[in-house]
Structure 1
């Protein structure tokens, strides 16, 4: 009898161990936004899949990352999820699930928003984003220039694991976020200092706060430990798809994903394979015209770009007025034909 019982245990042991391993697995759900901008910009689907592949196949961690395009119709995908990462245009994904996301946050699930996804309305920022992740972009308060940043990770925090030097990247790094009232509870996970020389493009959301922030350290990735036990992270980079090929840029984000999911970040950071040009061009959004091939980034080339000439508010308003005048003349010329 004892022998039969032992044989039964032996037969069942793979199932027992499989269930144990599954219970210990960290589950990350990426929600990718739809096609946006030009090819190589706002490549939400391709970016999510590149990061998920790094976590699933290259990190060596007990982690399962899943990518879904848009807000899921099947709500069962949220079962046992440890973190949800949203990478999209504004609130185009989260708008379909405000209350569900709020329930997830209050149950301790980690939430991370990347690039344009950190930009809700002022009301949504106050009601959801600041409680969830500690801050958000806000029109009239925050700015969205394209600039070359030397990213500095917060020392002695898991985000900085394996990243020993400054990480240089050219991106549309928003800054001057609207943070929660208890600012001391918000971690400045990644920071950089914008300068007039580093600002290469000043565009539609520029304001006096952006001017005032020049020469001052700005928070480009932030995080909180919520009272519900979960964590929240916001990251303003991610406009240019090519930047995922910068090893330490990618590592900072992978470290953040693992941290927001409540898992341990390896001492040397989350490992991943160097992204080749072929890998960078996988899963890109399709457009009516053939996609131009995205080259690997050469940040020093972007350093050579001339500084923006419309940084002061006077120059910015003059440039905006001139642009409107050109558009008006072009329209009149077209109508005259």
Structure 2
């Protein structure tokens, strides 16, 4: 027989559970449950400037949200710059931002991810699409996205560079709060056909050196962004800019996107719009972290005591030359050691090529789907974007030299758990 509880007993039990949560580290978990979960998704295909566009755009949006006085306490953010979350979005995401070119390496070309998005939308999740994430070369997927975004955005091969003068549309509502007129350098492509119930939020005049695509009639403002209250009451927002992530350093556009993300997640937007404390030159710094350092113009001799040494769960890396060390603007070099029977995690470098030269020991090196065995004197050159990792298959520590064609090397993936970081050996 199930016992009945009085109100007093129920309150006492709740208090006991709260205390137990406090003692077990539970407050963080409980606080997370009360927060709105925002998931940011990019793709391997980059926008303008090689890999920088979507990769750095997703990173910038994440930073803008977590440093926003209006959003950081109410939200938890997960960023996936190069693809779909392994666990999907249907279960617990409240709002999702898609930032990629839907006609190139679209994550939604995978039927399971498409089903995941459909389940997320059916649950009432808010959706934000940037650049051309709201379209596809696949007619079925394009129709699905049109039903979610409130507009048909046709794929195009005829984009031309254009200077865009943008301004909020009158009566655009919460999403346009605090958004003043601004300009950005972008792309003009196919036009936008809004669904009944969709509302333009941002319009603009386009000025291009080449002839504009036929979709943009001379003298007619183009629709740049719109909002859509879906039939089930869920919310969607789309912005066709963002081909170049540098646009996200425009203050008015930042405010518009943060407003839109909050609105899509059913969060309130203050009268002045949502601000952020992220660096005004955030994207520029992400793309070129050394931009604020004086140029390196003199030869530098450093001792081993000046090197940076990382103790990792698979071995060590000792960096000799890099931007953070202050002795190069263009290169990163170092020496790595993999312990017997260990391997570093599968990873790739989005902004640099890598050269690895084996000094001693034997390793099994995997690059995408290719695996080779390497010994002393062997060298491999790995292009940026190629997944790779090395495993020590010998009976002694494997020692190798590393070189990268950037002073600001970045790494994405299951690289390693850093046990400690030693400024000096």
Of 29-38 and 80-89, deviating more is: 29-38
| Cα distance in 2, alignment partners of residues 266 and 144 from structure 1 | 36
Return the structure number with greater strand share: 2
Aligned to 2:329: none
1:175 and 1:218 in contact (8 A); partners too? no
Of 145, 166, 176, the match for 1:151: 166
Give the TM-score normalised by structure 2: 0.58
Q: Where does residue 286 of structure 1 map in the other structure?
A: 351
1:74 offset after TM fit, Å?
Answer: 2.1
Instruction: Flag the 1:124–1:179 CA change in 2: closer, same or farther, 3 A.
Output: farther
Give the conservation status (yes or no) of the 8 Å contact 1:115–1:237. yes
**Paired residue secondary structure (2:120):** helix
Look up the match of 1:47. Answer: 57
How far does residue 143 in structure 1 lie from its aligned partner after superposition?
A: 6.0
RMSD: 3.2
Does the alignment pair 1:171 with 2:199? no
Answering whether residue 94 of structure 2 is matched by residue 82 of structure 1, we say yes
Secondary structure at the counterpart of residue 215 of structure 1:
coil
Secondary structure in structure 1 of the residue aligned to 2:40: strand
1:60–1:115 distance in 2 versus 1, CA, 3 Å = same
Give 2:260's aligned residue: 256
How far the C-alpha of 1:149 sits from its partner, in A, is: 1.8
Equivalent residue for 1:73? 86
Greater helix share, structure number:
1
Q: For the structure 1 residues 161 and 291, does the alpha-carbon distance in structure 2 shift closer, same or farther, using more than 3 Å as the test?
A: farther
Q: Which residue of 1 aligns with 2:3?
A: none
Secondary structure in 2 matching 1:124: helix
Q: 2:412: which partner in 1?
A: none
SS of aligned partner of 2:117: helix
Match in the other structure for 1:317: none
- Residue of structure 1 aligned with 2:75, choices 55, 63, 66: 63
Equivalenced residue count is 277
Post-superposition shift, 1:100? 1.6
Question: Which residue of the partner structure matches residue 39 of structure 2?
Answer: 29
Q: Secondary structure, in 3 states, of the residue corresponding to 1:119?
A: coil
TM-score, structure 1 normalization: 0.71
Q: How does 1:146-295 map to 2 (within 5 A)?
A: 146-156=161-171, 157-163=173-179, 165-180=180-195, 182=196, 185-194=197-206, 198-201=207-210, 207-210=213-216, 213-273=217-277, 275-277=279-281, 280-282=284-286, 285-288=350-353
1:22 Cα offset (Å): 3.0
CA distance in 2, matches of 1:236, 1:54: 19
Structure 2 residues not aligned, in runs of 5+: 1-8, 289-349, 354-383, 385-404, 409-425
Counterparts of residues 299-318 of structure 1 (less than 5 Å): none
Q: How far does residue 176 in structure 1 lie from its aligned partner after superposition?
A: 1.4
Deviation at 1:109, TM superposition (A): 0.7
SS of residue matched to 2:262: helix
**Structure number, greater radius of gyration:** 2
- Deviations, residues 196-238 of structure 1 (Å, cap 9, x unaligned): xx21355xxx64333xx22102111112101222111221100
User: Aligned pair in 2 of structure 1 residues 287, 201: CA closer, same or farther (>3 Å)?
Assistant: farther
Deviations 1:254-279 (A, max 9, x none): 11111112211222211112534465
Q: Assess, with a 3 A threshold, how the Cα gap between structure 1 residues 74 and 18 changes in structure 2: closer, same or farther.
A: closer
Q: 1:130-145 alignment to 2 at 5 Å?
A: 130-139=146-155, 144-145=159-160
Partners of 2:250 and 2:48 lie apart in 1 by 21
Q: Is 1:93 paired with 2:133?
A: no
Question: What secondary structure, in the 3-state scheme, does the structure 2 residue paired with 1:86 have?
Answer: strand
Deviations 1:55-87 (CA, angstroms, capped at 9, x unpaired): 123333211121112122323x54221111111
Cα distance in 2, alignment partners of residues 291 and 187 from structure 1: 45
Aligned residue number for residue 121 of structure 1: 137
CA distance in 2, matches of 1:152, 1:209: 20
- CA distance, structure 2, for counterparts of residue 228 and residue 144 of structure 1: 34
Q: Does 1 or 2 have the higher relative contact order (CA < 8 Å, sep 6+)?
A: 1
